[in-house]
Amino acid sequence: MSRKRTILCVDDDPNVLSTMKLVLATADYEVLTAADVPEAVRLLTSHRIDVILVDSLPNRGWLVLEAKRANPAVRVLIHTGRDLGEPGANGISDVPGVDGILLKPVPPLELLRKMSELLPR
For the entire predicted model, the pTM comes to: 0.84
CB 70 within 8 A of CB 43: no
Q: State how far the Cα of 55 lies from the Cα of 115, in Å rounded to an integer.
A: 16
Residue 57 and residue 12 in contact, taking contact as beta carbons nearer than 8 Å: yes
DSSP assignments along 8-71, one per residue: EEE-S-HHHHHHHHHHHHHTT-EEEEESSHHHHHHHHHHS--SEEEEE--TT-THHHHHHHHH-
- Is the CB of residue 16 less than 8 Å from the CB of residue 39? no
| Over residues 9-17, mean pLDDT | 92
Encode pLDDT of 74-87 as tens digits.
898 888 876 655 54
Domains along the chain with CATH numbers:
6-118 (3.40.50.2300)
C-alpha 34/C-alpha 37 separation (Å) is 7
- Average pLDDT of the chain, as a whole number: 82
What is the predicted pLDDT for the residue at 83?
61
DSSP 115: H
